[in-house]
Amino acid sequence: MSTPIEQYPLYNSYTAYRVPPLFVGDASLLDADTLRANARRFRDVLQPNTLRGVDVGFGSVDDNLKNAGALESCTWELLGDEESWNAIQKAIADEAEAGDADGGPSDLPVVSAKEARGVHVQLRYQKITYRALLLRDPDNDDTRKERGFLSLPLLLVRMPTALRTTFLDYITTTFDTRMSPLRLPSSFCSSSFESLLAHLSASEHNIPNTVKAVQIQLSFPRLRTPDNHTLRSIDITLTREDIPLFLSNGEELLAWNSSLIPSPDSAQTASRTITGPFTAALSHYLSGHLALSLESPDVEMSKISCGVFYLADSGKVKFAPPPAASTSGDGSEVEMESPIRTALNELYSSLVREAKGTSLQDVVDRVQVVIPAVVKGKGKRAMAVTDANDERRPETRRRKGRAGTANDEGDAVPTSPPPPYEP
């Protein structure tokens, strides 16, 4: 009887966190020795020790952890992509089945630091296993170690509350960082589902059987106040047979009015819920039946669930494993799940980018910088407006009218700060 291969860790339910760059000094967190050292230290934090009859170590324990049994192992390892994970797990299963005592860890495939998606932290108890993933996107990676820091911007945690708090405290104190929950905007939830439908449509995949029933929650956070008791959210369930109909109707709507989708440079892109044909058709339907339009900035998509993934604005995420590859007549595996796998990989990369946020350089490249300048001449002051990427001498404009008034558009000072960014 063959040993079953353990499922790729990403395919599960997690709570997402945004992680600033980790301070690692001269060491490398992606080094095997450093990973083993952190696994040993974190196990020491969790493992209770007795000192003069008093337990010291992991203090507050909730019921879930009490029922998990004793801690058997704590491992920190590099996590590669799904293909490398399956190769390693298959080698472990083959070795266990053969009972080869001569084989050692050196005989197994190894994930290099360059190819790694991040770090896989696994806590194996007697009855259950908890895990956390510190992740990056190695295919589009500018997060290499620089000046003693290493950026793994996305943290996915699957642990009970007390254990999760202890783990977050360990990361905070060990790597001199401060994490925060990852809030997913409405446009992220919407565009992720639109991307999945686009991949399935392009490959002529069976959309109803893949997506299954779709559950959507619309919320109204801008209308809430501590004093009112207005409607907080609306839950919508669509059967699998409705999805292709909404998709085709949405394509017709966008062909007639493409302005329903904001341009990528629009300032309202992050708060918009209509990001493709499906949400355009859904907005049209809700507007006709409930007088509720997704074009309103007060309406946000706070949750979406389908047969492939689950996303919530609170940072709760779930990735469902793609269907197994089928077998052809000659015994070889045929890759049938490529559209789903491609959509999941895009969703993973989008989550990493969302966690990373906007850098300061991105902000500088996108906005116009208003620089005060002193103009020679009659002692007059003027405002010089220049673009961050324009190396030409800034154009100066003289003020007209009374002092203290801005009659020229060039004299105007921005009333709001630039978009937030992650350092």
**Residue spans per domain, the chain:** 13-181, 186-356, 363-411
| 216: three-class secondary structure by DSSP | strand
Residues 407, 409, 411, 416, CA torsion sign: positive
pLDDT, tens digit, 9 for 90 and up, residues 144-202: 556 788 899 999 999 999 999 999 999 999 999 999 999 999 999 999 999 999 999 98
pLDDT, tens digit, 9 for 90 and up, residues 343-368: 999 999 999 999 998 544 443 344 43
Q: How far is CA 161 from CA 158, 218, 258, in A?
A: 9, 27, 46
| pLDDT for the residue numbered 343 | 93
| pLDDT for the residue numbered 200 | 92
Give which of 149, 145, 150 is closest to 134, Cα–Cα: 150
| Residues 113, 114, 120: CA angle, nearest 5 degrees | 45
| Partners of 17 in the β-ladder | 155, 181
Length of the chain: 423
| 307: three-class secondary structure by DSSP | coil
pLDDT, tens digit, 9 for 90 and up, residues 287-325: 999 999 998 989 999 999 999 999 999 999 999 998 865
Cβ neighbours of residue 310 closer than 8 Å, sequence gap 6 or more: 13, 303, 304, 316, 317, 318
pLDDT > 50? residue 54: no
| pLDDT for the residue numbered 264 | 59
Helices and strands in the chain: count of H runs, count of E runs = 10, 20
Concatenated DSSP letters of 290-306: HS--TTSTT-EEEEEE-
Higher pLDDT, residue 57 or 189: 189
Q: Which helix (H) or strand (E) holds 125?
A: strand 118-125
| Partners of 145 in the β-ladder | none
Residue whose pair of structure tokens reads 């797990």 in the numeric block = 89
pLDDT more than 70, % of the chain: 70
Q: What are phi and psi of 154, to 5 degrees?
A: -115, 125
269: tokens are 């892109």
Cβ burial 129-148 (10 Å sphere, 16+ → b, else e)? ebbbbbbbbbeeeebebeee
| 319: three-class secondary structure by DSSP | strand
